[in-house]
Amino acid sequence: MGRPVRIVAAGEGGQGVQAIAEILAEAAYEEGRQVLYIPAFGVEQRGGVSLAFLQVGDEPIAAPKFEKADIVVALSGRAVHRTKQYVGPETVFVYDTYAEVEEKDLPQNAKRVLAIPGLEVARKELHPRVFNVLIMGAVVEATKVVTADDAKKAIEKRLGYKFEKEPKLRELNYRAIERGMDLVGKAL
């Protein structure tokens, strides 16, 4: 069936990068896929760059680390810098326009470079807190690694207890996934 899909997500600690990867990993696992997710971060409890490596496939995943990703998502300037090593000619590189990056600092060797206004849209239309969920939607659309439905189910599983207290949050999160998918759909 070919090798697994390889995803790298990176951002500042606190932006919710690990949450994105964990939710996608759970979603893929529940779908019966083979999954390996490993986080990487520094010693600081807050701040510092946070990276997540996720692989989804049909065979048991070989190793936790790999050379080049199929998709890289970078949510801050430092994250763009930190993830360049995972970009190859087959890589789709997605970054948030909030990360003020100059053209010259973007990877020059990627298959596609997509800028999406994730934080801007989250702020204007949703809530800054669901920024990472919006980004997750973008990853789902770009990789088709899980279905939108399964992503929603996984979010429900993780945050369901919060949604019970505040049902509006459920709508907000689902909307964020859809908006993220939208933004990538347009950019692609």
Partner 1 sequence: MQVSPAMPKSWRRDTKPHKFCPGCGHGLALKALGEAIDELGIQDKAVFGCDIGCSLLAWDFFNVDTVQTHHGRTIPVMTGMKRARTELVCIAYMGDGGGYAIGSQHMVNAAARNEKITAILINNTQYGMTGGQMAPTTMPGQKTETTPYGRDPEVAGYPTKGPEMVAAITDERAYVARGTIARPRQLKEFMKKALQNQLDGRGFSFIEVVSACPTNWRTNAKETWYWVEKTLPTYFPVGELKVPEALRAGGGAKNG
Partner 2 sequence: MGEGPITEEKRMFMTGNETVAWAALAAGAEIMYGYPITPQNEIMHYWTRLAPKHGRLFLQTEDELSAGFTTVGGVLGGRRAFTATAGPGNVLMQEPVSMAEMMRLPIVIVVMQRGGPSTATVIYSQQEVTLTTLGGNGEGFRIVYSPSTNQELFDYTIKAFNTAWRYRFPTFVLADGYQAKLREPLTIYDPAARGIKMVPTEAYTGRPGTPGIDRPPGQYRNTYNTEEELYEVILGLAAEYEKMAAEVAEYQSFGTEDATVVVVAHGVVARAAKDAVEKLRKEGLKVGYFRPVTLRPLPLAELRAVAGSAQKLLIAESAYGQLARLVKEAIYGTKTEIVPLYKPGLGVTSEEIYARAREIVA
Chosen residue from 1, 2, 32, 46 binding partner 1 by CB under 8 A = 46
Cβ of residue 46: shortest distance to partner 1, in angstroms?
4
Q: Which region, judged by CB under 8 A, interacts with partner 2, from 19-27, 101-109, 151-159, 168-176?
A: 19-27
Residues with Cβ within 8 Å of 24's Cβ and at least 6 positions away in sequence, in order, are: 7, 37, 54, 56, 136, 139, 140, 145, 146, 151, 154
Tokens for 171? 């709508």
Q: Please give the single-letter amino acid code of residue 84.
A: K
Q: What share of the chain is helix, strand, coil (3-state, %, to 5)?
A: 50, 20, 30
Cβ of residue 39: shortest distance to partner 1, in angstroms?
13
Three-point CA angle 69, 188, 5, nearest 5°: 25
For partner 1 (CB under 8 A), the number of binding residues is 6
Chosen residue from 1, 2, 43, 103 binding partner 2 by CB under 8 A = 43
Interaction of residue 29 with partner 2, rule CB under 8 A:
yes
Question: Of these partners, partner 2, partner 1, none, which one is at the site of residue 95 (CB under 5 to 8 Å by kind)?
Answer: none
